[in-house]
Amino acid sequence: MAMDHMNIATISLLLLLASTAHIAQSADFDVQSYGAKPGADIAQALTSAWKKACAAGGSSKVVIPEGTYKSGPVTFEGPCKGPIEVQLDGTLQAPADATPHKGGGWLVFLRVEDFTLSGTGTLDGQGTNSYKANHCGPNVNCDLYPTSLRLDFITNGVVTGITSKDAKSFHINLFGCKNMTVEHVTITAPATSHNTDGIHIGRSSGITVADTTIATGDDCVSLGDGSQDVTIQRVKCGPGHGISIGSLGKYKDEQPVSQIKVLDCTITGTTNGVRIKTWPASAGAGTASGIVFKGIIMDNVANPVIIDQGYCPYGQCKAQIPSTIKISDVTIQDINGTSATAKTIQFICSKGVPCEDVKVSNIDLTYKGSEGTAKTVCENVKPTVTGTQNPPLCPEGE
């Protein structure tokens, strides 16, 4: 009889523990429960909901329901006690003022593991006034405007479903991240907006950007130093400046860029297609290697494929000094469509460290403009050429 009572007690305890564990496994923290109201600034409610969710055991979720809310800058800091998700179903508006914030972020997620940002909602950077005041192109000493979404030192993360519009500066910035996916995201800003890169990746590894639409006034996707094992696939890009590796070589102690794949993308009406760019008079001897551009459709794109090792906007460098960034092991394959300029492929490599192991296969780019016949440019490189080549790649053997 005592044994029966023990069994019943044991079973009851196990059922209680299982029930408690189930509760701990999933919990929602709606910002409206922390005082958030449509039309009001919900920065404090966001902070409170995040802190509660981050401290909870098991999986947790911060929910921003449908409606339009305002928020000043917020930092969501980890580590958290378990996997955490932010579900954005409403519209979150940044302050509309045009005051620079010295390169900070509007929404910053910092040192979080097993993180998800999901939903059908919108991050509205309200950057219209900033575009008019932004002179950061020619003015190298200007204060930068805030990035809409900064993801710093995130491990095992996903950003999916959301829209980012009218960021004051970059829309999404990944720095120091590992094993992250950005997918099914929509990014928009006027073609005339300054420095509004769609997604910037720096010093991060194991990154995938997929099935995403980006239309901005700058690079759709840009990759800075230290970007390694990055795949960009099925991205629709345009308007903007295309998909860029770099610029590299502006700063000292930059980390290598390697194993970058840009696959099955469509680029429309941009000022560049796929690009590698490095500064002359480079600050260090960096490298970019293991790069693949494959299956890209160009639609009226200026400079569809370009390696530019003389990148020097607004005369901000000593252009006569060759770049010291070594570019090698580059594959360019299955590039089709139309060019907006006569120069369809340009390899302008450094005479100090010429490009090596550049392989080109199956190129079909047509040009029907006033600049004459479509042509290609090769400087300080001897590419390996196979398959279709329209126009012929550097027929003079330069």
**Residues with Cβ < 8 Å from 108, sequence gap 6 or more?**
73, 74, 75, 76, 150, 152
**Residues with Cβ < 8 Å from 329, sequence gap 6 or more?**
289, 290, 291, 356, 357
Return the residue matching tokens 């398959």.
Answer: 387
What is the rounded CA–CA span in Å between residue 279 and residue 314? 12
**CA max distance for the chain:** 99
Q: Calculate the CA 283 to chain-centre distance.
A: 24
Catalytic residue among 171, 194, 200, 241: 241
Tokens read off for 15: 């059922």
What is the rounded CA–CA span in Å between residue 58 and residue 236? 37
CA distances from 137 to 79, 133, 196, 314, 340 (A): 37, 11, 12, 7, 24
Catalytic residue among 218, 219, 225, 308: 218
What is the rounded CA–CA span in Å between residue 151 and residue 107? 9
Q: Calculate the CA 295 to chain-centre distance.
A: 20
Residue 101 a catalytic site member: no
Residue 89 a catalytic site member: no
CA distances from 153 to 19, 34, 70, 176, 202 (A): 34, 27, 26, 4, 11
Strands 213-215 and 236-237: parallel
Q: Provide the H-helix boundaries in 91-151.
A: 128-133
Q: Which residues carry out catalysis? A: 218, 241
